[in-house]
Amino acid sequence: MNSIKLSKRQEEILHIVREDGPITGKQIADRLSLTRATLRPDLAILTMAGNLEAKPRVGYFINPQSAFKQDAASLASQLVGDYKAHPIVVPKSASVYDAIVQIFLEDVGTLYAVDKNGQLAGVISRKDLLRAAIGNSNLEELPVSVIMTRMPNVITVSPDETLLEAGKKLIQNHIDSLPVVREVDQENQLYEVIGRITKTTITRAYVELLDY
């Protein structure tokens, strides 16, 4: 991925070339009310980075191979905060039976358990519930805190991470759901749950990305 952070002027140059390229260095300089000499380092950077190509007697134009990567990179920078769904939470003292009822009522695959201050205590998957259901006779007495994946072993995501980073966490950790959290107290690892990102979120983003 093109990871160079462009300056405001470089972004302006790219915009001009995208709209009106091929265009000469002189024409770009005129549009920006700058001299060619002032612009030369920016044009050199954009050409070296592969954003622009230059051709004698033609001028600068967008590198067609890079056009896809630039657009995809901007899509990759879509944020978790903009895509997160509403989190479905239960108290960590809730029974496994009540958790199963919630799974069906809310039509979700994963529940988040919270402590009495409303902070993330654990995550409960359909498989956790299934394992409990076949191994225990009294699901109404068994609290979810016994069967859940507990903090600090829960993989979370913050609202300012990208959807791409969230997708990687789902794949690499073989999980279906990530609680979107806001840090309340770093030292004690206290997190408020403010959303969820699931493989459904990512599948929907994939369809949106390609289906225009």
| Binding letters toward a copy of itself, positions 187-206, x by CB under 8 A | -----------xxx-xxxxx
| Binding letters toward a copy of itself, positions 136-175, x by CB under 8 A | ---x------------------------x--xx-xx--x-
Helix (H) or strand (E) holding 184: strand 177-185
DSSP state for residue 67 in the 8-state scheme: H
Burial 147-156 (b: 16+ CB within 10 A, else e): bbeebeebeb
Name the burial class of residue 25, with classes exposed (0-12), middle (13-18) and buried (19+) by CB atoms within 10 angstroms of its CB. middle
Decide whether 5 or 174 has the Cβ nearer to a copy of itself: 174
CB 184, min distance to a copy of itself, A: 29
**SS3 helix, strand, coil % of the chain, rounded to 5?**
45, 25, 30
- Binding segment for a copy of itself (CB under 8 A), chosen from 83-91, 121-129, 148-156, 188-196, is 121-129
Q: Are 95 and 139 in contact (CB under 8 A)?
A: yes
CB 162, min distance to a copy of itself, A: 9
Helix (H) or strand (E) holding 191: strand 190-198
- The verdict on 9 binding a copy of itself (CB under 8 A) reads no
Q: Are 159 and 195 in contact (CB under 8 A)?
A: yes
Q: Are 144 and 150 in contact (CB under 8 A)?
A: no
- The verdict on 12 binding a copy of itself (CB under 8 A) reads no
In the window 54-93, what residues touch a copy of itself (CB under 8 A)? 55, 58-59, 61-62, 64-65, 67-73, 75-76
The residues that touch a copy of itself, with contacts defined as CB under 8 A, are 1, 18, 21-22, 55, 58-59, 61-62, 64-65, 67-73, 75-76, 97, 100, 103-104, 107, 109, 126-127, 129-131, 133-134, 139, 164, 167-168, 170-171, 174, 176, 198-200, 202-207, 209-212
